[in-house]
Structure 1
Amino acid sequence: NNYAQFIVNTKSNDDTEDMLDKYTDKYLNHFPNAKVRFKQLEYTIAAYPIEIRLKGDDKKDLKKASEDVRKAMEKVDALTLVQTNNEEQLSGVSIHLDEDEISRLGINRTSVALNMAMKYSSGIPITTVWDKDYPMSVVLKSDRNHSTNFNDISNEYISAWGGASAVALRQIAEVKPDWNDGNIVHRNGINSISLQSDIKRGTVASEVTKDVVKEVKKVKLPKGVSYEVGGAAEADAEFLIQIIYGLVIAILIIFFILLFHFKRINLALLILLSVTLCLFGASFGIWVMGLELSVTAILGIVSLMGIVVRNGIIMLDYAEELRKEGMKVYDAALNSAKRRMRPIFLTSAAASMGVIPMILGGSVLWSPMGSVIFFGTIISMLLIITVLPVSYWIIFVRADKIKERKLSREKKKLQTQQID
């Protein structure tokens, strides 16, 4: 297949969107025997946003399944350019050697293969020469410079008796025309065919993938053939695993920092559990803006966790100082919420205002992150100044009761000693 690519630089993002809206559907099937694909550069390694990968040992069953799955995918309106990586068959030549004849003439299969390779293929690799960082392959090839037809192969001479004579290939072999697969794709050593597709503008890849999977599940696949989802969904899942690993490590580091600062495991756990408060705001932001939970949205949640932990430290650290001065848990929680409300509001407002350009830009990549941080910061701020002080009071009110009972016992003991 022939392939060409044009990279168009526009003056602004709006111009890019306008050009894609105008030409994507117009030239989709404009040229005969050509596939025209308009694609905006994205931060993804997936070649196509939608991909269904079929795997199986039997090639015939695999091809039949790919046709059935392709028909099922074409039922989804949001898909465009549904295609397969199983290319059309290519014409070739099949050479069947006469074993008795080649043994009599002292010809072996290797010499015939080398002869054909030098004259009718790209040549025999000899070595590789490097020019700095650029490799250059050295091949052994015949100087044949005219076009070849089927009869030329039959009349090709093969050396016999150690080069003492030569015979035509038709005398020692049966030459027949043949058809072969254009390419044979293997994945982890198993035959594989991928069905790939683009999506229409204005649609979300994750939602379209769900619709495609529903249609594929309706297809009755031959025995021994299975499918898996690739494309953007697979790429996001791979990145998500790495982010989760990093998130777990970050949580552990935060916990040990809190434990080192407060020197109390219950207080450190309380602030760490307050991180869950950011999920309400993040979910609300994604829902209100009509976005999908993408990788950048998860990165926004990770950033939001840091803001929530910081606000929790600002509040509870002051509450601990008030308790050390002799104030009860209830009063310490109430006063810390009142006194720390202003700094928490100012820092949260500054963080939320800073991501407004990311939201207004409407970028598929950055808008989810901006929405998560904006709404998550505001809503988590309200929850921090209400839920966290109450939780602090509920957890540590018992400590006040124990302290009061201890003081009461000591007071009674002191009064008893004075009477004696």
Structure 2
Amino acid sequence: LASLMAKKSNQVGKVTQKVDAFYRKWDEFYRKWLIKSLANKKLSIAIITVSFVLFLLSVIYYGPKIGFDMIPQADNGQIQITVELPQEYNLRETGRVLKTMEDKIKGYPGITSIVTELGKISDVNTGPNLARMDVNLVMPNKRDKKLDYYIQSFVRDFSDIANARLITVDYKSFTNKGGTAIQFFLLGQDIEELNRLKNEIMDRIHDVPGLINLDQSSRQGKPEITIIPRRKKLADTGITAQEIALTARAALEGIAASKYYEKGEEYDITVTMTDASVNTPQKVGQIAIPSRNGTVYRLAQLADIKFTKSYSKILHRDKYVAIQFTGSPAPGVPLGNVTKEIDKRLKKIEFPPGYKIKWAGTAKMMKDMVSDMTFAFILAIVLTYMLLAAILESFVQPIFILLTVPLAIIGVLASLYYTGISFAITSLMAIIMLIGIVVNNAILMLDYTNQLVRDKGMDVKDALIEACPTKLKPIVMSTLAIILGMLPLAIGVGAAGVEMRQPLGVVSIGGLLVSTLLTLFVIPAFYYLFEEKKRQKAK
């Protein structure tokens, strides 16, 4: 296709002349240093040793300092707010508090919509004293302030909300929709023992650096009415425990007496007693319960009545009684750093037999994805080796080519460290992609070297000196093409979600750049030393 479209001309353009002159200078420079490195075995060994030391230092120095995240926090213009009020609050009182919060939010510029949901925070966390609010803003390129500014401002404004037990303000994303990024469960059988362990866990992890919005699901203090029927009295009156339960439920919770229809919608008409008429054991004891012979008894005559405090809810998970712990990483703090420290502190707690910790939510998803990506990385290495062994008809040469992968890791870690970007799932994807890219440079050099040795009978050293500079131009051109293509991702060009894509570009550019520079000297040195040793053995 190119031969058909290209114009026939013997003239060389000015741009081509300058590019060729640039490549000639680099060719001469590279050829000179390549000859020096191959002429001196000690220098070749030094190049390999320095590269190996650089790899170790990058892993030891940069590795622990780079945070790990599931997906970088992206400014998508969405904020999620969860509110928990005292347990005695009903929906009307909760709605009044949320209306106050909405009025505070409306004063900020750039707010497009506010969606409030009363009665639940998530599918597990429900109750009339709970609420969730989703705040949507204009896109980042249409406002001056970042999402962190709004989050911090909302936290400050909501600090004076009366009776609010817990208010969390966080990024909203598909990974924490209806929940928080950090979630784990304490599983066991005895609720009292679970609460003892819960207190110990909260004491251990409440001061984890970067952990905010820490909470747990066990709530004590919910008013509970306990009715204990007197069996002998029931036998004398002919009233059953079921009749007492149904009557008490109708009086306390209400009963649907009829239905109301309006505009095609159907509503229950519930008849119940007022809160003031059943707010003490004595008043509850006055509930009338008729017997089958027409005699009316008071509840206090038939049962013992106690007002107690109980748990607002008891969760179950995997056939265990469970207490859920939730939290969020502070803005700018990688999720992996926080979960790693929490996990470290939890392991110091001695759990009784039958009690354990189980991770969930985004933290669990992140751990699973790391395992999957690690397997994909190993599989990519194995498949690449098998393919190269078949193409090169050698089991050893593919090993030299795959040495470009650890060379790329040096650039990956350095680029993440100096740009301040956390290691994320997209970074792992970029590393897997790099396996297929960085080996190409080594393939170009070694394949042409083998061709010169096989077809022209050249010495390995001379073949390397001829092949590597010859392939320098296509290596540089392909590397520059990929780097320029990834540059918009690396510098964060685009609207919402650039933070999620940025690690892909940074890792690709850093890994490819360092790998290419080191490959030009490390691979020829490795190959030459191996062939020399093999030749000496043959002698």
TM-score > 0.5, shorter chain as reference: yes
Change (3 A) 1:314 1:119: farther
Q: CA deviation at 1:237?
A: 0.8
Q: 1:21–1:201: 8 Å Cα contact kept in structure 2?
A: no
Look up the SS of the partner of 1:30 in the other structure. coil
Q: 1:27–1:36: 8 Å Cα contact kept in structure 2?
A: no
Aligned Cα RMSD in Å?
Answer: 3.8
CA distance in 2, matches of 1:58, 1:40: 35
**Which runs of structure 2 are paired with 1:87-102 in the superposition (5 Å)?**
87-102=219-234
1:147 paired with 2:274, answer yes
Percent identical residues: 21
**Which runs of structure 2 are paired with 1:142-181 in the superposition (5 Å)?**
143-148=270-275, 149-150=277-278, 153-156=284-287, 167-181=297-311
Look up the SS of the partner of 2:130 in the other structure. coil
Residue of structure 1 in register with 2:61 after alignment? none
Look up the SS of the partner of 2:169 in the other structure. coil
* 1:305-350: CA deviation from partner (whole Å, max 9, x where unpaired): 1211222322222222222212233233332221222212221222
1:2 paired with 2:130, answer yes
Letter in 1 for 2:505: G
Q: CA deviation at 1:233?
A: 3.9
Q: CA deviation at 1:143?
A: 4.4
Question: Which structure carries more relative contact order (alpha carbon 8 Å, separation 6+)?
Answer: 2
* 1:149-173: CA deviation from partner (whole Å, max 9, x where unpaired): 4367544455755x98775543432
1:59 paired with 2:194, answer no
Residue of structure 1 in register with 2:471 after alignment? 340
Task: Choose the corresponding residue for 1:85, options 217, 230, 235.
Answer: 217
Structure 2 segments unaligned to the other structure (5+ residues): 1-128, 257-265
Q: 2:151–2:169: 8 Å Cα contact kept in structure 1?
A: no
- What's the TM-score, normalizing by structure 2? 0.62
Residue of structure 2 in register with 1:11 after alignment? 139
Task: Choose the corresponding residue for 1:187, options 317, 327, 339.
Answer: 317
Residue of structure 2 in register with 1:411 after alignment? none
Q: CA deviation at 1:117?
A: 4.9
Q: CA deviation at 1:238?
A: 1.5
Letter in 1 for 2:134: F
CA distance in 2, matches of 1:314, 1:27: 62
Residue of structure 2 in register with 1:203 after alignment? 333
Residue of structure 2 in register with 1:134 after alignment? none
Number of equivalenced pairs? 389
* 1:5-63: CA deviation from partner (whole Å, max 9, x where unpaired): 13222231663336436515423523223344332233534833445643444333432
Residue of structure 2 in register with 1:44 after alignment? 175
Residue of structure 2 in register with 1:26 after alignment? 156
Change (3 A) 1:391 1:166: farther
Q: 1:333–1:390: 8 Å Cα contact kept in structure 2?
A: no
Change (3 A) 1:306 1:337: same
CA distance in 1, matches of 2:157, 2:335: 22
Q: 1:156–1:169: 8 Å Cα contact kept in structure 2?
A: yes
Task: Choose the corresponding residue for 2:517, options 382, 404, 420.
Answer: 382
Q: CA deviation at 1:193?
A: 2.5
Q: 1:45–1:235: 8 Å Cα contact kept in structure 2?
A: no
Change (3 A) 1:193 1:160: same
CA distance in 2, matches of 1:272, 1:44: 35
CA distance in 2, matches of 1:71, 1:201: 23
Q: 1:91–1:179: 8 Å Cα contact kept in structure 2?
A: yes
Q: 2:224–2:307: 8 Å Cα contact kept in structure 1?
A: yes
CA distance in 2, matches of 1:332, 1:380: 22
Q: 2:219–2:311: 8 Å Cα contact kept in structure 1?
A: yes
Q: CA deviation at 1:196?
A: 2.7
CA distance in 2, matches of 1:172, 1:59: 31
1:356 paired with 2:483, answer no
Q: CA deviation at 1:145?
A: 4.4
CA distance in 1, matches of 2:181, 2:228: 45
CA distance in 2, matches of 1:391, 1:7: 58
Change (3 A) 1:76 1:268: closer
**Which runs of structure 2 are paired with 1:268-287 in the superposition (5 Å)?**
268-287=398-417
Task: Choose the corresponding residue for 1:302, options 432, 443, 446.
Answer: 432
Q: CA deviation at 1:371?
A: 2.0
Q: CA deviation at 1:368?
A: 2.7
Residue of structure 1 in register with 2:386 after alignment? 256
Q: 1:28–1:37: 8 Å Cα contact kept in structure 2?
A: no
Structure 1 segments unaligned to the other structure (5+ residues): 125-137, 406-420
